[in-house]
Amino acid sequence: MKKLVALMCMVMFLCVSAAAFAADKYEVVDVKDGGSIKGIVKTSGAPADPVLDINKDTEYCGKSHPAGMYVIGAGGGVKNVIVAVEDITKGKAAPKTDTVIDNHKCAFEPLVSIAYMGQKYIMKNSDPIFHNTSIGLILAPGKKRTVYNLALPNKDQTIEKPVKVAGLESVSCDAHSWMRAFVYATPNPYAAITDDKGAFEIKDIPAGKYKVKFWHEGFGEAVVDVEVKAGAAATLDHTFAKK
Amino acid sequence: MKKILLTILLTVVLCSAWYLSASAEDSQGKKLYNGWCAQCHGYDGDAKSYTDKFSVPKPRDFTMGTYKFRSTPSGDPPTDADITKIVRNGNPGTSMPPWTRFTDDEVKAIVAHVKTFAPDIFKDAGKPITIGTPPKASAALIAKGKELFNKAKCVECHGKAGRGNGEKGWQENFKNDWGDPITPANYTHPWELRNGSTVEDIYRTISVGLGGTPMTSYMDSLKDEDRWALAVFIKSLQEQRKLGVAIKIKKTVAIPAKVDDPAWDSVEYMDLPMGGQLMFEPRDFTPLITNVRVRGLYSDKEFAIMVEWSDKKPNNGADGKPADTVWIQFPQKVTEEAEKPYFFMGDKKHPVYLWNWKASDAGKVTEQLAKGYDNVADLPKQDVTVIAGYNDGLYRVVYKRALKTGTKDDFEVLPGKFVPFSIVAFDGQNGESGIKGAVSSWYYLMLEPATPLRVYVFPPLVALCVFVGGLSLSRSLRSKK
């Protein structure tokens, strides 16, 4: 009997983990009368923006560079926060937009972006020096799973690759350790990046209860519950505590 | 309601069927894995094991889903054949052994089990790239490869002569996916190349990269023929080890006064494979110096021995790391009929001389007498001089001494006589100092008489010493060869 219970538990566990895997499965449906989530991400106090110490290719790259990590608008709005409806399994189709990652003036442009599964990464080198673009799924602090690592030895070289792995990914260049960027790869269209004022808006969400994730390079992560009502805008402001 | 119940029932039945079939299939692979692989790679494939401290690189954490050795493009998982290959052949220069004990079916089962640690990456099978026939090597092709080596900026990581000393390799986040620091490969040491050292292997490395490392994929940025030219060029940089037990030292009019004197390049040399010092605490389980090359010259009055080795990052003691260091050991009493080999740093009955050179005081050498690893004293009279240099990833240290010093108890070097010696070398970047370093076994040097003997008679005990001395090191050396 004990064995049977153990087996049942095992089966349950396996079924649950199988379900967890299916989380990046996404079903495209017609969304009529969807609701939206809008809000402002603020901070009660940000540290000074760090200055990057540049020690390779300094003739071209210069000696230092503002990190652009803490870009705080009037009223404490935080720029470059990724806002994503995490547990959504059904909704409208993701846009057919590709994601450009440009190596420009020894920094990645843009710093934070959204990539849509099935579309493309367009990796580009606008500099006359060697860069490589290494995209990796972030697994834990300091640990990643390489998604692509491609050389861009020459100016104006461009490489296109399909977006195949969902999740929060880091972008780095092994030749220049200060270079970094972040991409949120998603099968759905329900993610946004905050603007200069810290504002965001995500539209056409089927009515329901969701978990929304806020992620910022410096402030970290927060997950907040929200209920979206048909045809209405839910307000979801978030404040990152002082760092 | 009925519908829901039915769905639940169906799910449970399907899940248990899947579970049962999976467990029946996996059991052999899992059993073999747990028996032979888990002590390094961890029972859960997460590399949580006691060996991770003693292994550089660390055993692979399979749960993270990054595979370094692939025949598939960047972004694709390895094929079963890729995993099988590394299991069968092992990984040169690491603790990953070659596995020949298993049947093909057993390996298949093990590979299937290894894949279960990161099932999501194997959702879609990877497609291997096509590796055609390598072009014939020619001077023109090598020259083209060399040009590309600079143009594609390989040189920035791998260094001019390909010794892994390029400046880009020395940055704070030069790490792999697992969060461990990494260094560019040294092409001149083919035995250190983990992804293989044939032209095809190198072509594959350049094309698809090494997963999870800064070694990036050039498939989309370099044409096929360019990647072949690069592979041929890199192959041409590989050095073959000249192994032996004794090195003959030829007579010359004047010993060169500089380490980079071209005269040295035509002098016959011998390679000494190095292994970690494992006899006394602190032991060196993870040495980085895998080879030391020796050669020598003598004149009427003096003899000189050059010790040469690759070091990707020189340390002179000023950067908080220990200074790079090298010693030659000689037995205090040079007798061809040695009773027994002189082990690391000698003992009370069999003291050894150490000619101790440190990069922190590069113009100087200290002669010491060691009667064991914990009993070392500087000698009152110093008879040895040294010149040293570091250039493009290569250290050269030339020791010079009179054939006969006149100092009491000092050994004399006579043409035609064999003198035992061994080398101990320390890489400061790797945190090596004291007695934690790389050691060679015992070898012999002999000044070649001006009128060369037709046959060199190896004293029988000399051969024996080499054999026995070699045994004590073989454990660590075997994996390096």
CB proximity A142 to B under 8 Å = yes
- If one compares B217 and B13, the residue with the highest pLDDT of the two is B217
Residue B263: partners with Cβ closer than 8 Å, 6 or more residues away: B252, B256
Residue/partner pairs of B225-229 with CB below 8 Å, 24 or more apart:
B225/B135, B226/B148, B226/B152, B227/B203, B228/B134, B228/B135, B228/B199, B228/B203, B229/B135, B229/B141, B229/B144, B229/B145, B229/B148
Residue A26: partners with Cβ closer than 8 Å, 6 or more residues away: A88, A89, A90, A91, A117, A187, A188
Confidence (pLDDT) at A103? 97
What is the spatial distance between Cα B442 and Cα B473, in angstroms, rounded to a whole number?
A: 10
Rounded mean pLDDT of chain B? 88
What is the spatial distance between Cα B41 and Cα B99, in angstroms, rounded to a whole number?
A: 15
Chain B residue with CA closest to A133: the answer is B216
pLDDT tens for residues B65-110?
999 999 999 999 999 999 999 999 998 878 899 999 999 999 999 9
Amino acid making up residue B63:
T
- If one compares B3 and A11, the residue with the highest pLDDT of the two is B3
Confidence (pLDDT) at B18? 44
Domain hosting residue A136, numbered range: 2-240
Can you name the residues that pair with B401 across neighbouring β-strands? B303
CB proximity A139 to B under 8 Å = yes
Contact yes or no for B196/B228 (Cβ under 8 A): no
Q: What is the ipTM of this complex?
A: 0.85
User: What percent of chain B lies above the pLDDT cut of 90?
Assistant: 73
Q: Please determine, for residue B4, whether its predicted confidence score (pLDDT) is greater than 70.
A: no
Contact yes or no for B255/B302 (Cβ under 8 A): yes
Q: What is the total count of domains within chain A? A: 1
What is the spatial distance between Cα B398 and Cα B255, in angstroms, rounded to a whole number?
A: 10
CB contact under 8 A, A149 and B220: no
Confidence (pLDDT) at B409? 81
Phi, psi torsion values for A68, nearest 5 degrees: 65, 25
Tell me the pLDDT band of B16, cut-offs 50, 70 and 90: very low
**Range scoring the smallest mean pLDDT among A131-140, B46-55, B285-294, B304-313:** B46-55
pLDDT tens for residues B346-384?
888 889 999 999 999 999 999 999 999 999 999 999 999
CB contact under 8 A, A143 and B171: no
Confidence (pLDDT) at A5? 43
Q: Please determine, for residue B23, whether its predicted confidence score (pLDDT) is greater than 80.
A: no
CB contact under 8 A, B121 and A145: yes
Residue for token digits 């043409």? B415
Residue for token digits 């040491």? B189
What is the spatial distance between Cα A73 and Cα A76, in angstroms, rounded to a whole number?
A: 5
Amino acid making up residue B427:
D
Tally the residues of chain A. 243
Confidence (pLDDT) at B196? 92
- If one compares B470 and B287, the residue with the highest pLDDT of the two is B287
Q: Is A122 exposed, middle or buried (0-12, 13-18, 19+ CB in 10 A)?
A: middle
CB proximity B18 to A under 8 Å = yes
Chain B residue with CA closest to A173: the answer is B214
Confidence (pLDDT) at B94? 84
**What is the reported pTM?**
0.88
At B29 the three-state DSSP class reads helix
At A224 the three-state DSSP class reads strand
Q: Please determine, for residue B416, whether its predicted confidence score (pLDDT) is greater than 50.
A: yes
Amino acid making up residue B130:
T
Which residues in chain A touch residue B209, judged by CB atoms under 8 angstroms apart?
149, 151
Q: Which site among A57, A59, A106, A132 would you substitute to test the B interface, given the most B Cβ atoms closer than 10 Å to its Cβ?
A: A132
Chain B residue with CA closest to A4: the answer is B16
CB contact under 8 A, A18 and B15: yes
For chain A positions 42-71, those within 8 Å of chain B (CB to CB) are 55-56
Tell me the pLDDT band of B52, cut-offs 50, 70 and 90: low
Q: Please determine, for residue B153, whether its predicted confidence score (pLDDT) is greater than 90.
A: yes
Residues of chain A with pLDDT below 50 are: 1-23
Which residues in chain B touch residue A148, judged by CB atoms under 8 angstroms apart?
74-75, 217
Can you name the residues that pair with A170 across neighbouring β-strands? A136, A182
pLDDT tens for residues B250-291?
999 999 999 999 999 999 999 999 999 998 999 998 899 999
CB proximity A186 to B under 8 Å = no
Confidence (pLDDT) at B26? 54
Residue for token digits 């843009």? A110
**Range scoring the smallest mean pLDDT among A227-241, B202-216, B241-255, B339-353:** B339-353
Secondary structure of A183-208 in the HEC alphabet? EEEECCCCEEECCCCCEEEEEEECCE
Q: What is the CATH number of the domain that holds A82?
A: 2.60.40.420
